[in-house]
Structure 1
Amino acid sequence: MNRNWAYVIIAGIIEIMWAMGLKYSNNLISWAGTFFLIYVSFVVLMKATKKLPVATVYAVFTGIGTAGTVLVEMVVFGEPFSWTKILFILLLLSGVVGLKLVTTETSKKEGAV
């Protein structure tokens, strides 16, 4: 794995944190932290788009965030376990892995003049 994919994974993990912040923030400090995490996740994500296709990066980013948020909700916050949710998370992750496998890094952003 190269540095650009690491940026996508880091941004996805930060997305999970700010998604939790959107649900559980209840005062000015926690909202400020949530907005800071949103900012940081997109700054890191933009670094990845310098060398990787934007559509693939965004799909992987949202996949990590979606799957991670559902899993954190179940494990940490007691959301009811569901095999159906697990099945669809695995389906989502297989699509994310598939996109990563068929995407190549470019020396410059595609479509740039």
Structure 2
Amino acid sequence: MLQHAKQIVKKVLIQPTGWICRQEFRLQDFSRFNERPVEYAFVLKKIGEIYPLTILDVGTGTTALPHLMRNCGCLVTATDNKRDYWPNGMHNRHYHVIDDDITATRLSDTFDFIT
């Protein structure tokens, strides 16, 4: 019974995400190429060479990079200065981003790789 209830709740919670993704797919429009292919290729190549266990992604913004690095098996901490850089707020739908100013960080962990 509990398992069935969990399945129903999951379906209800996934509905808005599915709708948003469909809307973004339908409304996508090409404007220009950007630097992401070069950035992602470099980062993923270095992950393949170094095999870092822990990664700090600084200035994540709304990109999917931390999610991609996590898919490589690394433990990823994503940060961005949401309060100062994004005055209207920022939400990354791909990964949890910690609100932190890297110039006065509150993080105490050490990392094998920083992007």
Q: Looking at CA atoms only, which structure, 1 or 2, has the larger radius of gyration?
A: 2
Alignment TM-score, normalising by the size of structure 1:
0.33
Q: Comparing both structures, which one devotes a greater share of its residues to strand? A: 2
Q: Comparing both structures, which one devotes a greater share of its residues to helix? A: 1
State the structure with bigger RCO (CA 8 A, min sep 6), 1 or 2.
1
Alignment TM-score, normalising by the size of structure 2:
0.32
